[in-house]
Structure 1
Amino acid sequence: MLSKTAEYALRVVIALAQRRGEVTSASTLSELTHVPRRYLNHVLQDLVACGITASRSGSAGGHQLVADPAKTTLVDVLRHVSPLQRIDCCPLGLKSHTSLCPLHASLDRAYALAEESFGNMTLQQMVDSPDAELLFHAACEGCGQ
């Protein structure tokens, strides 16, 4: 349901929220989040462009979260880097569908529930989670990344 870009962006902003106020290098972020460095640069550019993070160049440079983690939801991040695509027409392109068939309507409801769930979870809630230290370990264990 989530693109790799979305998953990686969430890992990055949560890592930065855990290091609130610190400037973190891209190399360190890549190690912390298990996001490949080349892909990480693309994600960081998107996050800077939308104002969720800021970057600083130079020897003491890096990235930091500028959005308020208590007010920034997961869906706020997703909307900027890889929005969840709601279904409004037949994904198969069938002309016979003038409205969503039961399958596509069900899929659209699932996307709506996911969007609602992500909209109810802030970055701060993720950081404060009792399992926060497992976020990146579990991510890399589950998919080999």
Structure 2
Amino acid sequence: MLSKTAEYALRAITCLASRIGQPSSADVLAEATKVPRRYLNRVLQDLAAAGLVRSRSGPGGGYELAQEPATISILDVVNAVAPLERIQSCPLGLKSHTSLCPLHAELDRAYEATEAAFAGVTIQQLLDSANPIIPLREVS
């Protein structure tokens, strides 16, 4: 359901959130998130344009979150790079469909529920989860 770009953005944001106060280079992020470096650069640019990350150049520089993890929702991250597209009108362009047909209305309800679920979970909640599996890390 999520694009590869959205998945990669969530990995990058989660990684940065776990390293508050420690800017991370694109190389370090690529290694930690298993995202190809060139692709990650584009994702980081989109996240920066959305105000979710910022970069600092020079020694000790790198990427870091521009907001607190508790204020960033999964939906914020997804919308920054590959927004979920709601169905507003007939995707087939049928003029007689002045409202959504049952199929497309149901699909749009699913997209709406997904948006609500993503909006209800912050990056901090992911990091604070009681689940013994730590995001982006091997558990020994």
- Closer, same or farther: CA 95–132 of 1 in aligned 2, 3 Å: farther
Report the counterpart of residue 136 of structure 1 in structure 2.
136
Equivalent pair of 2:127/2:134 in contact (CA under 8 Å): no
Equivalent pair of 1:21/1:65 in contact (CA under 8 Å): no
Structure 2 distance, partners of 1:92, 1:10, is 32
Structure 2 distance, partners of 1:106, 1:96, is 18
Deviation of residue 101 (structure 1)?
0.6
What is the SS of the residue equivalent to 2:55?
strand
Aligned AA (2:22):
E
Structure 1 distance, partners of 2:83, 2:74, is 11
Report the counterpart of residue 50 of structure 1 in structure 2.
50
Q: CA offsets, 1:94-121, max 9 Å, x none?
A: 3332210111001000000000000000
Q: Does 21-30 or 58-67 show the bigger shift? A: 58-67
What is the SS of the residue equivalent to 2:70?
coil
Q: CA offsets, 1:58-96, max 9 Å, x none?
A: 243210112111121111222222211110112233333
Cα RMSD between the aligned structures? 1.8
Aligned length: 138
What is the SS of the residue equivalent to 1:55?
strand
What is the identity percentage for the equivalent residue pairs of Structure 1 and Structure 2? Answer: 57
Deviation of residue 135 (structure 1)?
3.2
Aligned AA (1:60):
G
Report the counterpart of residue 33 of structure 1 in structure 2.
33
Report the counterpart of residue 65 of structure 1 in structure 2.
65
Report the counterpart of residue 123 of structure 1 in structure 2.
123
Structure 2 distance, partners of 1:109, 1:75, is 16
Report the counterpart of residue 3 of structure 1 in structure 2.
3
Aligned AA (1:104):
H
Deviation of residue 134 (structure 1)?
4.5
Could you say which structure has the higher helix fraction? 1
Equivalent pair of 1:126/1:132 in contact (CA under 8 Å): no
- Closer, same or farther: CA 20–89 of 1 in aligned 2, 3 Å: same
5+ residue gaps, structure 1, are 139-145
5+ residue gaps, structure 2, are none
TM-score normalised by length of structure 1? 0.86
Structure 2 distance, partners of 1:89, 1:23, is 44
Aligned AA (1:53):
V
